[in-house]
Chains A and B, each alone.
Chain A
Amino acid sequence: MASIDYPLERPRPKEGEFSFSETLYRWVATVDHKRLGLMYIVTALLFLVIAGLMASVMRLQLAFPNNHVVGPETFNRLFTMHGTTMVFLVGMPFVAGLSNYLVPLMIGARDMAFPRLNAFGYWIFLFGGLLLYFSYIGGGGLSGHGSAPDVGWFAYAPLTSKAFSRGASTDFWILGILVAGIGSVASALNVIVTTICMRCPGMTLTRMPMFVWVMLIDSWLIIIALPPLTAAQVMLLIDRFLGGNFFNTQAGGSAVLWQHFFWIFGHPEVYILIFPAFAILSEVIPIFSRKPLFGRAAMVGAVVAIGFISLGVWAHHMFAVGMTSWSNTFFAASSMLVGIPTGIKIFNWTATMYGGKLRLDTPMLFCCAFLLQFLVAGLTGIMLAVSPFDWQLHDSYFVVGHFHFTLIGGLVFGLFAGMYYWFPKATGKLLCEKLGRWNFWLFVIGFETTFIPMHFLGILGMPRRIYTYAPDRGWDFWNLVSSLGVIAQAAAIALFIWNVIDSIRSGEKAGDDPWDGWTLEWATSSPPPEYNFEKLPVVRSSRPLWDLKHPHDPDWKFEQ
């Protein structure tokens, strides 16, 4: 008996010819979760390219000692904007875009719970991003000092006070991020309500796809973690405009207070960023191993545990501020605890692959690289959690290497896996597999070449955020190697963009279910119609399409 009910003849979206202005109107005025999801993802990719170009300029400057590609002010703006962009304008919209596009499809819903809030979220996020970038023009303010913000993405007080940051650049940073954050919270709220209220008949929480589970927890984390940042930013605005002294050390304010506020947001934030990659891997690895996710319950539990523990580890960013030995021990211990659920996740993914039949297509290649790179990132994370070791490694290039292993080697590799995996669903075309492999290998080579040497630089005493260095400190060689890796990474991204454009124009037709998938999004057409499903599906297990394709061996026979 088929446990899912959907029509064999699915209606296709109209192949109407629209004029440019009509097309534009259809995108701008849309409240369709799929269009908004794609808009989030395309915007994130644009910002990714911008932030990548900024990083390339920085690597060019650091390729040689005493280099003069850019001066100190420009360099400081570059790393501030690079970090801020990657976290708030690439990572966050990817969270929103992926969950927007996929959550309703995966739970068999017609749209998000609040379609208009959804559209509002996207536009307010975009406005925040543009506001931040407008600082390049408007950041001079009336006093003419500065352009883009140069206080770092962490904006430590009192460097952000009027005394040390004149002009309006810091205000653009505050307001741009604050406004973009409204979009993130709106979108997270929407995901939570959608997941809780709009699952199709039969989809209990235990049958919900792992992707949706992770995004649900991610959204909770966003709602918990972002308000402290917003509050701190409002306090900073009060300091800067209304003569408040929360963080103004010259009037008795506290510089450490800002760090607490920032990292109480900032550490959960890095998990907010990496969770989408967890979500993607938990879908892609089973499909390409042809086995269900090993230990589903443990996987959900691990994500909940990571989310929970992540709220209590923030001060491991502050081991050098002179906390008491008890505080240092507490935060070292709590940070190391994260390693346990993270380990469970890596083991379970590996166990999913064990005994399977691995189809090593591009999405799966990215997942395999993720596993190894994220393992390294996790282990260097353990090193940083050991606070005596961190007194040496903190704010050195080792840390830069570590978090790029998590956020590029982890998050971005995961996102690439996801984009190669769901591109056929969103466009109806397959991405070229040959170009995909080139993209993958170039990215791996470039990534390792750029970021492995950074660990060595940190060990050799190179601090972060320096725009230049002397030739006799032992840093020349590894910096040059690191910069060379950028070439391969840039080529990989360029290939990906070309692959996307070329495949949309003349790619192979994907069909509705190119990967032989098990979740509901593969049950509708590619691209899905505006209403997603003509009849709402009814599911009886966590792999509804498996049940459908294997009527003699369905999952619901084994699941409770």
Chain B
Amino acid sequence: MALLQGLGAALPEHRVANIFKPLATPAQSEYHIALLVLAITGAIFVVVAGLIVYTIWRFRRRPGDDAKQEPPQVYGSNQIEVAWTVIPILIVFVLIGVSARVIASVQNASPPPQMLKVTLIGHQWWWEVRYPDYGIVTANEIHVPTASATYLELQSADVIHSFWVPQLAGKTDLIPNRTNYSWIDPREPGVYFGNCAEYCGTQHANMLLRVVAQAPEDFKRWAAEQQKPAAENAAFQSLSCVSCHTIKGTPAKGKFGPDLTHLMSRRTLAAGAIANTAENLRQWVKDPQAAKPGSLMPSLQLTDQELGQVVNYLESLQ
């Protein structure tokens, strides 16, 4: 436990997800085209807004003006009309060309052969994270190694969600009956924050996602820990928790809620709604609706004794 928590705590946290501070290739290419577009639109703004403001200022009626005297009546000019049609056309064609290149480079990038495959499945209102090559199932945190790319298969179990970790990659939706793809390659170890970016119901706001990028050897250690099954617990298995949650190595095989096998290795509870502390865990199990109203996890009306047993067991799931 100390080892795992030590790993996590040492990582810098990128809570402010500024799209202009990209830390992975897809976000970087989006950032570069953004700079170009900002420069072009900024220049247009300065010129056109300048013209408008100058016109208003220069031609405003002044106190001494003869109200009866109308200004010269000008109906138009084909030359001027053509000029301010052709110039925008040229600008637009430059932008179309540049966009087409970036779209192709991000969307059609062939993944490197030894990339990590992760399946990300959206649920109301949490993320299921599966590592098919490692046999790991976890939730709300995607652990990835730095220095290589991670390929994400995006699916949804219910409604549309959207994967967005601004400093790593722009959005791709998770749509039921459809598999989308995205990829990330964080360069530095760190915890990158993201949110579900498509409105998905009551608790859309508290559907937070973290990408935990670790040095390759740290990632391997993490994966090895996650592959281990958990110990059984009679008290826990006698409660209805098991109908929704899976704990590997035990009869708990529910699919509706997040896999809890290594719950304590995660930073938060309830998809980022609250920090994963002993007190919060207790409150969460006791009454999920208090911390995350509308959450699909019901209050099970546990007695204090049952609550203590459940929390003790969950705290053992390192």
Complex contact B162–A468 (CB within 8 A): no
Q: In the complex, are the beta carbons of A158 and B159 less than 8 A apart?
A: yes
* Contact (Cβ within 8 A) A322 B173: yes
Against A, the Cβ 8 Å flags (1 = close, 0 = not) of B274-307 are: 0000000000000000000110000000000000
Contact indicator A473/B15 (Cβ below 8 Å): yes
Are B162's CB and A320's CB within 8 A?
yes
Please state if B52 and A368 are interface contacts (CB–CB under 8 Å). yes
A380 to B88, CA, bound (A): 15
- Tell me which residues across on chain B come within 8 A of A91, comparing CB atoms: none
Q: Say whether, besides A294-B74, A391-B170, A339 and B59 are in contact (CB < 8 Å).
A: no
- B27-A392 in contact (CB<8A): yes
Residues of B within 8 A of A339 (CB): 88, 92
Q: Are B41 and A382 in contact (CB under 8 A)?
A: yes
B33–A386 CB distance below 8 A: yes
Closest residue on chain A to residue B169 by CB atoms: A391
Contacts of A376 in B (CB 8 A): 45
Q: How far is the CB of B15 from chain A (nearest CB, A)?
A: 5
Q: Say yes or no: is A497 at the interface (Cβ < 8 Å to chain B).
A: no
B94 nearest CB neighbor, chain A only: A336
Whether B72 and A355, one on each chain, are in contact in the complex, defined by CB atoms closer than 8 angstroms, is yes
User: What chain B residues lie within 8 Å of A296 (beta carbons)?
Assistant: 75-76
Flag whether A138 is at the interface (Cβ < 8 A): no
A350 within 8 A of B: yes
Q: Is the CB of B104 within 8 A of A322?
A: no
Report which of A379, A386, A465 forms a contact with B99, defined as CB distance below 8 A: A386
In the assembled complex, the Cα of A332 lies from the Cα of B293 at a distance in Å of 39
Q: Flag if A465 contacts B204 (CB, 8 Å).
A: yes
Chain B residues, CB < 8 A from A152: 199
Encode contact with B along A141-160: 1 for CB under 8 Å, 0 otherwise.
00000000010100010110
Chain B 101-140 interface residues, beta-carbon cutoff 8 Å to A: 102-104, 106-108, 124
B177 touches A460 (CB 8 A): no
List of A residues within 8 angstroms of B16 by Cβ: 460-461, 473-474
A357/B59 in contact, CB under 8 A: yes
Per the 8 Å Cβ criterion, residues 66-86 of B in contact with A are 69-77, 80-81, 84-85
Query: In the complex, how many angstroms separate the beta carbon of B120 from the nearest chain A beta carbon?
Result: 13
Contact A387–B202 (Cβ < 8 Å): no
- A394 to chain B: which residues have CB within 8 Å? 170-171, 197
Contacts of B160 in A (CB 8 A): 156, 158-159, 255
Q: Are B18 and A460 in contact (CB under 8 A)?
A: yes
Q: Which residues of A contact B100 (CB under 8 A)?
A: 329, 332-333
A residues near B106, Cβ cutoff 8 Å: 388, 391
Q: Are B99 and A383 in contact (CB under 8 A)?
A: no
A289 cross-chain contacts in B, Cβ below 8 A: 59, 71
Q: Which residues of B contact A256 (CB under 8 A)?
A: 175, 178
B3 contacts chain A at the CB level, 8 A cutoff: no
Q: Would B52 and A463 count as touching, CB distance under 8 A?
A: no
- Are B88 and A343 touching (Cβ within 8 A)? yes
Give the CA-CA distance A332 to B106 in the complex, in Å.
Answer: 15
Interface string of A335-362 (1 = CB under 8 A from B): 0110110011011101101111111100
Report if A193 contacts B (CB, 8 A): no
Stretch touching chain A among B188-196, B211-219, B235-243, B244-252: B188-196
For A395, give its contact among B18, B85, B158, B162 (CB under 8 Å): B162
Q: Does A250 contact B (CB under 8 A)?
A: yes
**Nearest CB in chain A: distance from B294 CB, A:** 5
Could you tell me if A249 and B103 are in contact, using CB atoms closer than 8 angstroms? Answer: no
Report which of A255, A295, A553 forms a contact with B76, defined as CB distance below 8 A: A295
The answer to the question of B44 belonging to the interface, with a C-beta cut-off of 8 Å to chain A, is yes
Segment of A2-10, A11-19, A71-79, A119-127 engaged in the interface with chain B: A71-79
0/1 string, A369-396, CB within 8 A of B gives 1:
0011001100110110111111111111
Q: Which of A249, A291, A351, A466 contacts B80 (CB 8 A)?
A: A351
Contact B177 A249, beta carbon cutoff 8 Å: yes
Q: Contact mask A251-277 → B, CB, 8 Å, 1/0?
A: 011111000000000000000000000
**A353: nearest residue on chain B (CB-CB)?**
B55
Q: Determine whether the beta carbon of B181 is less than 8 Å from that of A156.
A: no
A23 proximal to B (CB < 8 A): no
B170 touches A388 (CB 8 A): yes
The reply to whether the CB of A434 lies closer than 8 angstroms to some CB of chain B is no
Is A472 an interface residue when CB atoms closer than 8 A count as contact?
yes
Complex contact B294–A72 (CB within 8 A): yes
Contacting pair A159 B197 (CB below 8 A): no
The 8 A CB mask of B162-180 against A (1 = contact, 0 = none) is 1010110111110111101
In the complex, besides A71-B293, A358-B61, 15 extra interface pairs with C-beta distance below 8 angstroms are A328-B107, A339-B88, A340-B88, A343-B88, A344-B84, A357-B59, A357-B71, A375-B45, A380-B41, A382-B41, A386-B37, A386-B95, A389-B37, A461-B18, A464-B199
Mind listing 24 A-B residue pairs with CB under 8 Å? Answer: A73-B293, A156-B160, A159-B160, A255-B160, A255-B176, A289-B71, A295-B76, A320-B162, A329-B100, A332-B100, A336-B95, A340-B85, A346-B48, A357-B59, A358-B59, A358-B60, A372-B49, A375-B48, A379-B45, A388-B33, A395-B171, A460-B18, A461-B19, A550-B70
